[in-house]
Structure 1
């Protein structure tokens, strides 16, 4: 199933999710399991630094304190996780905000339930960046015209962000060629010359730098200061039928986010449990911000750019989508 999810393009996945979901998308019968007062919920995550608070919260007993046990499955992108949540394969998932807006405007029943991550808000010191080889002639985002740029999902948040960086640098984003590649494959692809640039996030960003690569732009900041990038979500049916479990997940996630923000060294260490990043590289990883609440103004800006790039069938209804 994981390979199938990863292999599907975002739009196809989203449309298929509504047509080929299971008969019980709520997941309330056999997907949720309870034992001794603890409910096991299945969660779809991407193996990147962003989700460290959930792994940390599980390890520190925060979710157990709230009566939950997480059963985690990984995927390449938020676009790949959406159909798993809608079909009931997962009760909760991690996704960037653009994927959730695309889903909603494709009539896919999703609901954001908790905040996940935000940009650091500091140019050149964010957890995501457009990177090139150390000896690349590319000096700015404008130089990406006519070049190939790797993204983890096409027609999604990272492509929108790169396009905005190109615009702000005085270039034409329509002249950039985007290719889809998993984050953990980007450092090797960049080093070998398979791509000219890569839009990477941690820990792949630290790996690229360890190979002599360099940053040319902080695209999340070009979208909006302190951009809310991703959130945890569920299907609308699941939230309606399992409000008690959703509330427990929200409370445990908020507590885990706060713990990770207050204990960056522990957050950094937990990343080694679900990625293959070497300890020496881990020390250079830039951590994102993990605020308790989403930044609505930044999401509005992201939605407008997504509309301009033709990602949505209609204007996203953020009042319905956001918690």
Structure 2
């Protein structure tokens, strides 16, 4: 399934039959369990695609039915309505859903953002814009006006006493950010893999990895890496089908291990699945894929989201992260 990697995000239309989220997971006579998965095709979610294409899910007793779309905000209500069993999400979306009383649990993360593997990288054309305080009065291109990357940026601006009304946030698709920055229409952009690699190649200045910087600050240095891609299910589903969650996580870990040991194949998958130009797929840094997540990994996002006004509750992160109890 090819996806045009430069198209703007499309809104997923929630259609189809709705099943009760507490029902048994359908299994075939040979014991294979059907799992309905909603996801966004990204570099960070490549292990899901690889686990499906290479039969890893099947070997672990799962038959995955994938729906690929571009708007993760629609996935949370679709989970609680029973349309999907497992769906892509973001830390911010999970926290907002919890505040609305939606019964979600994070079952795994997909990647780790660090300064060496930036998935929320702040770039400028002007080298002198080397602190968040210097962005006062500037225009910043962001992938969305809300969400984990943008909330992290807002948090860091506030920590430098820059009011959110003192900065103009411009929603911009990742592939268009370089041209907007080069033309001077914006003063800074925040981009993720693989687009961050292309921006470096064009000579723009990498100033910060905003998600990592924000979680470090929000956790007083206790959490040292960020995350911008998760998968979640309803808590009812995880309680009733822990074996499915274990098989899902095991399959993803096997796919991550394969990708980490096969660089050329990983880049070929990026090129074919995401319809990415060959030269971009070959140059771009690969995501730092990782599956495991703890409640403490999620905790800094509560502080970040509260500080910028995205949520006004204090969710229990221990209840929001699935923990295996065989």
| TM-score strictly above 0.5 | yes
In structure 2, the residue matched to 1:52 is 46
In structure 2, the residue matched to 1:113 is 107
> Greater CA deviation, 217-226 or 81-90?
81-90
Q: Deviations over 1:249-277 (max 9, x none)?
A: 23222332333344444333321232232
Q: Deviations over 1:21-67 (max 9, x none)?
A: 975242858x9574754334332222221111111222222111112
In structure 2, the residue matched to 1:293 is 292
Q: Which runs of 5+ in 2 are unaligned?
A: 1-6, 217-223
Q: Does 1:158 align with 2:149?
A: yes
Select which of 38, 44, 48 maps to 2:32: 38
**1:219 CA drift (Å):** 0.8
Q: Does 1:231 align with 2:230?
A: yes
Q: Does 1:88 align with 2:82?
A: yes
Q: Map of 1:48-197 to 2, 5 A cutoff?
A: 48-119=42-113, 121=114, 123=115, 125-132=117-124, 134=125, 138-167=129-158, 170=160, 172-174=162-164, 175-197=166-188
In structure 1, the residue matched to 2:21 is 26
Q: Quick one: distance in 1 between partners of 2:26 and 2:175? A: 31
Q: Match of 2:236, SS? A: helix
Q: Please give the root-mean-square deviation of Cα atoms over the aligned residues, in Å.
A: 3.3
Q: Deviations over 1:184-210 (max 9, x none)?
A: 444454455554332211122233334
Q: Does 1:305 align with 2:304?
A: yes
Contact 1:151 1:178 (C-alpha < 8 Å) held by counterparts: yes
Q: Structure 1 pair 103/284, CA: closer, same or farther in 2 (3 Å)? A: same
Corresponding residue pairs, total: 306
Q: Quick one: distance in 1 between partners of 2:143 and 2:127? A: 21
Q: Match of 1:24, SS? A: coil
Q: Match of 1:93, SS? A: strand
Q: Quick one: distance in 2 between partners of 1:227 and 1:186? A: 22
What TM-score do you get using the length of structure 2 for normalisation? 0.79
Q: Structure 1 pair 240/298, CA: closer, same or farther in 2 (3 Å)? A: closer
Structure having the larger proportion of residues in helix? 1
Q: Match of 1:50, SS? A: coil
Q: Does 1:271 align with 2:266?
A: no
Q: Quick one: distance in 2 between partners of 1:70 and 1:187? A: 36
In structure 2, the residue matched to 1:319 is 318
Q: Deviations over 1:122-164 (max 9, x none)?
A: x3652330123x4687444333222232333333211122124
Q: Structure 1 pair 188/105, CA: closer, same or farther in 2 (3 Å)? A: same
Contact 2:149 2:228 (C-alpha < 8 Å) held by counterparts: no
Contact 1:128 1:201 (C-alpha < 8 Å) held by counterparts: yes
What TM-score do you get using the length of structure 1 for normalisation? 0.80
Q: Which runs of 5+ in 1 are unaligned?
A: none
Q: Match of 1:237, SS? A: helix
Contact 2:119 2:228 (C-alpha < 8 Å) held by counterparts: no
Q: Quick one: distance in 2 between partners of 1:275 and 1:190? A: 24
Q: Deviations over 1:215-258 (max 9, x none)?
A: 22111221221224432111233334444433322322233233
**1:77 CA drift (Å):** 4.3
> Greater CA deviation, 155-164 or 208-217?
208-217
Q: Match of 2:292, SS? A: coil
